[in-house]
Structure 1
Amino acid sequence: MSDRFFHYLTREHARLEALIEEQRRRPLPDDMEIARLKKAKLVVKDQIARWRADRDESVAA
């Protein structure tokens, strides 16, 4: 994966975190929406970890 994709993933992770915090600050937070956002954030976090692992393998080779 490219550095450009990595930067996209980090921005997406931050965007999802901001949406989660925004939802939590609402007078009546939508728990289902928070759960959906957290799942999406976890997927992005896993993609970031995979990108880093792939990069580390290519550097070591």
Structure 2
Amino acid sequence: MESTHVAALQAKHHGLEQRLRDEMNRPAPDNVAIQAIKKQKLQIKQEIAAN
């Protein structure tokens, strides 16, 4: 069960990475959105490391 949870977190982290890349490649990136995505990624990374 733990590995399923970790796999789900990794998938979510990957999705956030894609959103971050998409946002940064826009002609006028939204810095607030970028910071929010980075914060979510960090929280997920910490949760993965805790498991």
Report if TM-score (shorter chain) is over 0.5: yes
Q: TM-score, normalised by structure 2?
A: 0.95
SS in structure 2 at match of 1:38: helix
Once the two structures are TM-superposed, the CA of residue 8 in structure 1 deviates from its matched residue by 0.2
Q: Which structure's CA Rg is the greater one?
A: 1
What stretches of structure 1 of length at least 5 have no aligned partner?
52-61
What stretches of structure 2 of length at least 5 have no aligned partner?
none
Q: Quick one: distance in 2 between partners of 1:37 and 1:21?
A: 10
Once the two structures are TM-superposed, the CA of residue 24 in structure 1 deviates from its matched residue by 0.3
Once the two structures are TM-superposed, the CA of residue 3 in structure 1 deviates from its matched residue by 1.1
1:12 is matched with 12
Which aligned segments of 4 or more residues in structure 1 are displaced greater than 4 angstroms?
none
Give the number of the structure with larger relative contact order, counting CA–CA contacts within 8 Å between residues 6 or more apart: 2
Q: Equivalent pairs: percent with the same residue? A: 33
Q: Quick one: distance in 1 between partners of 2:13 and 2:4?
A: 14
Residues paired across the two proteins, number: 51
